[in-house]
Structure 1
Amino acid sequence: MDPELVAVVAVILAAMAFDYTNGFHDAANAIATSVSTRALTPRIALGMAAIGNFIGAHLGTEVAKTVGDGLVDLPTGVPSLGIVFAGVLGAITWNLITWYFGLPSSSSHALFGGLVGATLFATVGSVQWDNIINKVLIPMVVSPFVGLLLGFVMMVAIMWIFRRGHPGRLNRGFRWAQTASAAAMSIGHGMQDAAKTMGIVVLALYTGGFQSSSEHIPEWVYWTSATVLAAGTYAGGWRIIRTLGRKIIDLGPPEGFAAETVASSVLYFNALVLHAPISTTHTITSAIMGVGATKRLSAVRWNVAGNIIIAWVTTFPAAAFFACIIYFVVRPLFS
């Protein structure tokens, strides 16, 4: 059997496994606030998030191109496919660790860290550091601050606009509004996270010599990545949903609506305008913190937030570390 074909299939299967873990790991991004405020039942919320992810995957082409062509330069051949394989498995390892502890870390940064770590360890190919800095590291730092600030501003605006409203009627109204904001959030998640898997599949096809362009995305890649992400989302990541929905602040329907609206807006802007693969986890979590800070600073459980921030900071190097170990093990299989 053709070794290039076997290696490409192995990488694609690993990418789909990552896609699935990304789905249940990041399901909380789209639905945690809606579930915690009882705007939606858990299964309806997960189903809606799965559909939104499927739709969003078809809108994230530019993000996929950034991942597939803009992070690492690898020569064609089986050894390079071993690097991609190890990078993806490194990301899966970190996803499972953070899921076990209920920490909403970034699947995106785990994937980027895994690719960079395996490439550096293998000394085959090179890392496009300008793109890593401009499209990964800077957004990694900036997007949480933007989410925090906009979440605060959005919630202050809602409190002022509806200051004379009846609390019961307002809560019922915002529960309905959360259906729309959660749907927007799930589409934004699909635009960002399904696109990253698509980028890995395209990178594997190009590196394995099965297509001549690293930017062309076959239609089957859209459908497969979207379907697997949707399936993973529907499986649900309840540990992280509890962290985001209940442990950072006590959310009501207005707060949930504000956080989801801000986070989805930031995701759309980065995907459609900047073509930057940002973290949906960082964005929604920081928006929730910003919304909660409008009550009083002590309303945010900063000890929980601190653990989340530590997970954010360690994700990139931790995934890189695991990818290096995995590459050392699998390298003979891709020689």
Structure 2
Amino acid sequence: MALKLFSVMIFLVLNVSFSKAALDVHYYDRTCPNAEKIILEAVRNASMHDPKVSARILRMFFHDCFIRGCDASILLDSTPQNQAEKDGPPNISVRAFYVIDDAKAKLEQACPRTVSCADIITIAARDVVTMSGGPFWNVLKGRKDGRISRASETITLPAPTFNVSQLIQSFGKRGLGVKDLVALSGGHTLGFSHCSSFQARLRNFSSVHDIDPRMNIEFAQTLRQKCPKPNKDRNAGQFLDSTASTFDNNYFKQLLAGKGVFGSDQALFNDYRTKWIVESFARDQSSFFREFAASMVKLGNFGVIENGEVRLNCGVVN
């Protein structure tokens, strides 16, 4: 995995009008000056043993922020009285919670009751992108952890079958525009999917087409071999980008070639509202990096709460 920790330096200090609590790049400068260093070390150590950590942390960040805002509600464990987000159907395959727990344990030793689990996820998401060769940006900090987590709310996450209109509506509810949608979809450059999320595109797609006609036919045949029917291998699947361990713009190049794995991915190239952005990012990686970093800051400040807490254990409320 490429280690380009400062490949692109993007300093973003935004005044986010839809956040309820003020965030600050220097929030922990006095109370926990080594916070980001401790988090980076935990992420780096985990990545050395599991190459999928980067994709899993980035997905965790998206799935956390898209439900109740970035409040670490995805980390809360289920109880006999409540099924939490992490056990909702879209989150069953979210992994690497142990990385956040490891960072939290070290932070509690260094500066007790100070760094929120929500900030840990947000910083870790930036770190996995940078470690994989993507852009660096300053993370605004000072989030508080939420106390509510419901599995039933995970049905609002964007699905891999969504069309562009559905995607625009979903992202719009989080204060994100069309360019944010396309840029953040580029996070799939580190992604992996099990067959269940795209196999409907490979067989009996419609009454007219056996295979989704938007797919490159050779690519579709390759996926059919990886996902036979019936498929007894639950771990079978496909990387969403042919350079899956490197954060780059190859994801967009694949869309131009009809090699998007998800229907929602390929739809971005087949809709006039998003096609030009896909083409722009496919041509210019630095443009993609700039927009991705800006959109990550924007999403990271969605729904920030001021009446939360700093959990001592990320899996349970205080």
Structure number having the greater helix percentage: 1
| TM bracket (short chain) | under 0.3
Using structure 1 for the length normalisation, give the TM-score: 0.26
Using structure 2 for the length normalisation, give the TM-score: 0.27
Asked which structure has the greater RCO (Cα within 8 Å, sep 6+), the reply is 1
